[in-house]
Amino acid sequence: MLIEVVYAECAFSALVYLITVVLLFYIFKLKSVKSLWKNSPPLLMLFLSTFILAVEHWKTVVLWIFVLAGLVTYPMDPVYTRIDQIASFWSKWFYDAATIGIFLQRVFLLVYPSRLVLNRKLAVVIVFLEVLIPILLVGVFQGLNLMNGARKTASGSGSGLGREGDFLSKIVDLQISFQVVLL
């Protein structure tokens, strides 16, 4: 692929993510976070998760522009890469959970339109689950990654992941392979 095409794709993606962030700031300026929470907590969580996801994707695209320009070397520090992968997982799963949450709330409103008090309680439960489930998923996958890396390092068996004997590199490579499989 031509390097100019890659730069154009990254620049366009960065622009789209930046526009998303600006529009969400405009939404929050028109209607405060407090009033959004009062009207529809799952909708507020969808806006917040969209904001977090757009910022995370913008950061990744800008980082790749820096890598392509030679300003940053790749692979980067394994600790940074690991933290970046955790943030990427969490933001994507948080967005997915928020999308499912707003869908469930809207379906409940259509099925039971006259139960506003129950809808308010359901909305708070949905928001709680929207935050809890992605955190648990990230924790489970990180725990599995750490256990797998520790097991392979302790047994001395080479897995072909990363540099031989480099524990953090194996964890990062395994994390990246999990992300590729899940996407």
Cα–Cα dist 145/143, whole Å: 5
Model confidence at 81, in pLDDT bands (50, 70, 90)?
Answer: confident
Kindly report the pTM of this predicted structure. 0.73
Domain ranges of the chain: 3-152
pLDDT winner (highest mean) among 21-30, 87-96, 112-121, 127-136: 21-30
- Asked if residue 26 has pLDDT above 90, the reply is yes
Residue range 138-148: average pLDDT?
A: 76
Cα–Cα dist 42/23, whole Å: 19
- Asked if residue 53 has pLDDT above 70, the reply is yes
The pLDDT of residue 82 is: 74
Model confidence at 164, in pLDDT bands (50, 70, 90)?
Answer: very low
pLDDT winner (highest mean) among 110-114, 148-152, 153-157, 178-182: 110-114
Let me know if 113 is exposed, middle or buried by CB neighbors in 10 A (0-12, 13-18, 19+).
exposed
